[in-house]
Copies of this chain bind each other. A is one copy, B any other.
């Protein structure tokens, strides 16, 4: 039998504990799959006394992750502490620099320092794997990096944040307001006490930046992502989407366009017959469009201890087998710089919800402003008011929903600015991008 792969695990929260447990419970199967045993020889966490449901007797204990990272007793450092700062950053750097392979689930660290870390891994000829950083148990990264190794990818888009999808699902099904729904999600533990990282789209943006790098051979760069969250979405928007044959999802989208790679996170209208529209609750999904073939969609659990551990263990197994691929699919020197694509240049269809003042000439004024920007309309719906008018609509305001054909965001913004100046609408128009599928 070949020598075992000796693993040190830093971070023993729900994921870390599940990784240690899985490596033990599936020891025989993993050894059969990998041709050698995998052993957790050392762990590191803040509290030595906390109950974790795994027996750590016989496993060396480190209180300093940086010491574990470079300890000669381990071949592989598993970083499950999280966060783009310390101690995760220095620990991963130290492990790689000392010639150890690294597995991490840390999307924040990768989104911020992924290029530098990949460069060190490459220099030291060690693997740096992070399947768990995006969509947890769903093999999103393996699929982009290996499963579609020879495909020219044109677009990847996905539901990458379970909290937002849970909230949009509840708002749609139960006609809840955003605020009511957030409170419920917090009560159930699906949203954090400070939910902004999730609901404002930053979690999705970090994951998207990793996927974009793998799909398009660009340097991972969170600041190249345009980000909008779901806080402005109302039950009226969800009901209107439903009537029009759409659902609203917070998507991360990375697309190859004539003007470069777009990376954007925003609420998005997707046709109900698309696989991604059917994904409800906390489930994650990713669709990949590649040249010449129909889209591929992967759906599954994107969070949770066991689901994340599933991906971490798969990465460890690859390393036990001796597999080493460039962390972002290609050598760092070949990754192109990522630029933030200006959203004004984005081309696509738009959903626009306006509160039009119920006066003669209003419809003509709106239509004229859109026409001046060469925006063609696919549909116009004057929404029936069920009972009371929506909040803020005032008297005599009629909700109007416009669906445009493909145009530019610049044109939409200019047209709506002009409509605003015409004083034919109340309040701020709601604008949601439509993603074709």
**A: which residues have CB within 8 A of B?**
22-23, 25-26, 29-30, 32-35, 131, 137-139, 142-143, 145-152, 217, 273, 275, 278-280, 283, 290-301, 304, 306-307, 309-311, 313-314, 316-318, 321-326, 329-331, 334
Contacts and interface: CB of A to CB of B under 8 A. Distances in A.
A317 B217 contact: no
B334 A137 contact: no
B30 A150 contact: yes
Contacts of A321: 323-325
B293 A307 contact: yes
Contacts of A292: 306
Given A29-B150, A317-B146, A310 B298 contact: no
Contacts of A22: 150
A298 B29 CA distance: 24
Contacts of A296: 137-138, 298-301
Contact of A275 (B29, B278, B309, B322): B278
Given A32-B330, A330-B33, A148 B314 contact: yes
A27 to B, nearest CB: 10
B298 A294 contact: no
A301 B294 contact: yes
Given A293-B304, A299-B299, A325-B321, A331 B32 contact: yes
Contacts of A304: 293
A283 B283 CA distance: 21
B314 A150 contact: yes
18 contacts: A25-B152, A26-B151, A29-B150, A32-B326, A33-B325, A137-B148, A139-B147, A142-B143, A149-B317, A151-B310, A273-B278, A273-B280, A275-B299, A293-B300, A293-B301, A293-B307, A294-B307, A297-B300
A26 B310 contact: no
Given A139-B139, A149-B317, A310 B293 contact: yes
B150 A326 contact: no
A364 to B, nearest CB: 41
Contacts of A330: 29, 32-33
Contact of A313 (B149, B273, B322): B149
A152 B26 contact: yes
Contacts of A324: 321
Given A143-B139, A293-B310, A299-B297, A326 B33 contact: yes
Contacts of A291: 306
A307 B294 CA distance: 8
Contacts of A316: 150
Given A296-B138, A323-B321, A150 B23 contact: yes
A300 B307 contact: no
Given A321-B323, A321-B325, A298 B301 contact: no
Nearest to A149: B317
Nearest to A26: B150
A29 B306 contact: no
Contacts of A313: 149-151
A296 B298 CA distance: 7
A304 B300 CA distance: 26
A85 to B, nearest CB: 29
A280 to B, nearest CB: 8
B290 A294 contact: no
A290 B25 CA distance: 14
A231 B139 CA distance: 36
A309 B294 CA distance: 13
A314 B149 contact: yes
A310 B148 contact: yes
A295 B290 contact: no
A358 to B, nearest CB: 40
A294 B296 CA distance: 19
A137 B293 contact: yes
Output the residue of A26, A298, A306 with the most chain B CB within 10 A. A298
Contacts of A299: 275, 296-299
A23 B280 CA distance: 38
Contacts of A323: 321, 323
